[in-house]
Amino acid sequence: MASEYMYITPDAAAYVKKFEWQRDQLLLRLEEEARRERIPIINLDSIQVLQQLARIKGAQTILEIGTAIGYSTIWLARANSSAQVVSLEIDERMVVRARGNINEAGLSDRVQVIHRDATLGLPESYAEGSFDFIFLDASKQKYEQYLELYLPYLRSEGVLVVDNVLFHGLVFSQPSEPRQAWIAERLDQFNQKLFHHPQLQTTILPIGDGISISIKN
């Protein structure tokens, strides 16, 4: 597997790296924990773009599918000082850690981590069209299901971002390992669906592990 800057030349990667944003002690600690424990969190270059998008959009309501330890959740909550964030996570141990980290970030009043299987959708109290920004980052094999479940919750002109859409480059390199090939094929189908979806205008950025950005018509 290549580095996190696999889609650009090594020289370009080294140059771009000079412009990484400063992170506070909390985010640096979470990056270190994720590295040490092999917890898959979003690449730094991708989350910088997500935070910029959420800020440009003035997103006040953000839904995240897949919290892990709350790294991306904290970045997204910090996009706007009054943004409300809801994040769904299936793994109870992750929920506990994420809540602790979000508390440490001083964001508990604006961020709610819900312990829930995202394939069940949102609890009934959430209305359709109530989110300005949705970030999908849970099980890659279930992206199509998440799209169907959560797109109705995105308001018109809202932004949908999906991580790992290039799947370490495997989505366009026909991997021989059967499980990887299966996931790559599912992701390719998902990307096609996003691109041809009548309600979405989608573009893919080959940064990090590949992110798609869609605007809802």
Ligand X SMILES: C[S@@+](CC[C@H](N)C(=O)[O-])C[C@H]1O[C@@H](n2cnc3c(N)ncnc32)[C@H](O)[C@@H]1O
- Give the footprint of ligand X on this chain (CB under 6 A): 40-42, 66, 68, 71-72, 88-91, 94, 117-119, 137-139
Nearer to ligand X, 53 or 94 (CB): 94
Quote the least distance from Cβ 16 to ligand X, whole Å: 20
Dist. CA 112–CA 179, nearest whole Å: 34
Nearer to ligand X, 125 or 156 (CB): 125
Nearer to ligand X, 8 or 34 (CB): 34
Nearer to ligand X, 47 or 198 (CB): 47
Quote the least distance from Cβ 68 to ligand X, whole Å: 4
Q: Taking CA 38 as the corner, what is the angle to CA 89 and CA 205, rounded to the nearest 5 degrees?
A: 75
Ranked by CB distance to ligand X, the top (closest) residue is 66
Quote the least distance from Cβ 41 to ligand X, whole Å: 4
